[in-house]
Each structure stands twice: as structure tokens, then as C-alpha cells.
Amino acid sequence: MPAGCVIGVDLGGTKLLAGVVDSGLNVHHRAYRRSRGASEAEVLDIIVSAVREVRDAAERPIAGVGFGIPSLVDQERGTAVSTVHLPLRDVPFRDVMAERLGLPVWVDNDANAAMLVEHRAGAARGASHALMYTLGTGIGGAVLVDGRLVHGARGGAGELGHMTVDIDGPVCPCGQVGCLEALASGTALGREGERVARAVPDSRLGQALAAGREITGMLVTELAHDGCQAARDVVALIGTRLGVGIASMVNALNPEVVVVGGGVIAAGDLLLEPARDVVRRQALAPSRDDVRVVPARFGEESGMLGAALLALDGLDGRLAAA
């Protein structure tokens, strides 16, 4: 294994992925954990367990750990200020992890981490203005302007999943109504899939529900790829809703590229084509004519690889300052 290995950790509302990553962004070991339903103490224990697993599997010492977490992150203090899908509030995350792991730690929002690697080596490479949407349990977002991630005054910028797209829409886990997250996340995909399964019992979605299967976003995507029209219609609906959110941000920020990642991107163009159609109809010229809406190059591993880059960049900064 090349020198300079770090660990990248992508913490989500449902699961965690940790990996040993070298300076060429090659992943040497991975560890997976479930995070859904855990208490604050349990979440911290799960993280430590996963990091120790991959560190013990590494052939060479680990120089540092980067974390992408689904939280507003106070960059100065390294604090997880608030998190919608996990019980992390005002947790001095960087310091707690550094103490428990005995390693240097860097932390940022998970979507910011995903944008970092997609900009450096992925689907947004070469762009100076870009947006990132990560669709999973919720919807994370990141904004790149003039080649730099936008964090805002207190680390709260880029919450693209919590822009209102339907004032009469469903309640979002954040407590507000009609957020994009409530309408176009992986959770929303599963919820709409179950609704359609009940409405169209003769469809493969309906048959799966009758057989006792849980209608998740992953199952809807699988059946859509297998040709189930009902499932395809559900994915297209989610893509259309996503497009409404993207079109508004295209008008606001005029990005060159919009990168869509997270687990829901497994639906591919079944999801993205409806989103692109909305952008073409609703975004204003010239922004709509220039922007590309594309899948993340690194797929579900963008967050983990981006977290590793946080650590690699942090270590480089330490060497430069020495």
C-alpha cells in the first residue's frame, strides 16, 4: 500500500461506510455499519468501531481520519451543530473523535465531502460553479462557487434538500413542510412506491407488497430497471420533483454542472432524464442551456472518498506549515 493512507468515513442517516484510502484515491479496505435508530452514544461507538476495523486491516499506519457527516458543521470548532436524521446536536465531533481514535481528525458536511471529490476528480472536474445533491435517507446538498465550497457564516450553507418546493407538501423530517427532501429522497421513493403498490396491486410493485416485501427505494429502483412500468413511473415522479428543486437553484446560481449522487442515483437516467426535462422547461436562459445534470462519478462512495480527501488535504496543510 502506498504511503500517506488515511481513513474516510461517510456517515448517513441509515448507514456508515469507512474506507482506507491512499493519495491516489484507491480504496484498500471497507467497513459498513447501520446507523439508523441509534442514540448519540451508539452513533459515536459505531463510528469508532468501523474506523478501528479498517485501521486494523491496513498494512501501514494511518495518518489521519476525515469525516463527512449529515450535519451542519461549525468549521472553526469542528462541532456537529444539528442533524436531522441522527441524534447529534452540539457535539464537539472533531475533538471527540480525535481523542477516541488517537489520530488527527477533519470533519465537514457529508455532501460537501462528496462535492470535494467530485470536483477534484469526478463529474464536476474542471468546473468553477457546481451543485451537488446526495439522495439517500434524506437529501444533502453542496454549492461550489469560483472553485470553492460555500460553507456560509456558520456552516449552514448548501442545505439544498431543505428548500421548499411545495407549500402544501408533506412534513419533512426537519419539521418544515414541502421540502425537496420530503418529496425526492430515497425515503420518498420508497413511500411513493408503497402508495403505487397499493393502488396498482397487479403490478410487480403490488405483487411484491402482497408477498410481504418492504417497498424501499432500492426495491423500486430494482423493479424499474427490470421493466416494471409502475416502478418506472414512481422513479420518474421522483426525478420530476428533483428537477423542480434543481431548476430553482440553476436560476439562482447559474452552475456549469449539477452532480447527483447517493444511493438513489442507482436509478440512473430513469431518474435523471425527468429531472433534466424539468430544468429545460423551467430554468431560465442562458443558465438552462449551459448546465449539465449528471450522475456522480464515484457513486455511493463519493462521501467516503471526499472525507478521505479532507484528511489528505489537512495533512498536506500541516506539512506545508511545518
d(CA 79, CA 74): 5
**One fold for both 6-114+301-321 and 128-296?**
yes
Query: Which sign does the torsion angle of CA 299, 157, 181, 247 carry?
Result: negative
**What is the third-level CATH fold of 128-296?**
Nucleotidyltransferase; domain 5 (3.30.420)
pLDDT at 1 over 50: no
Domain ranges of the chain: 6-114+301-321, 128-296
pLDDT in tens, 2-41: 456 999 999 988 899 999 999 999 999 999 999 888 899 9
Select from 90, 73, 66 the least CA-distant residue to 8.
Answer: 66
C-alpha cell at 314: 489537512
Kindly report the CATH number that applies to the domain delimited by 6-114+301-321: 3.30.420.40
CB of 206 closer than 8 Å to CB of 197: yes
pLDDT digits (tens, 9 = 90+) for 158-170: 999 999 999 999 9
Q: What is the pTM of this model?
A: 0.93
Quick one: 56 exposed, middle or buried, by C-beta within 10 A (0-12, 13-18, 19+)? Answer: exposed
* 268-306 confidence digits (pLDDT tens): 999 999 999 999 999 999 999 999 999 999 999 999 999
Output the nine-digit C-alpha cell for 10. Answer: 461517510
Spatial separation of the C-alpha atoms in residues 183 and 164, rounded to whole Å: 10
Q: Which is nearest to 114 in space by CA: 263, 305, 288?
A: 305
Residue 271 burial (10 A CB sphere; 0-12, 13-18, 19+): buried
Give the number of other CB atoms < 10 A from CB of residue 210.
12
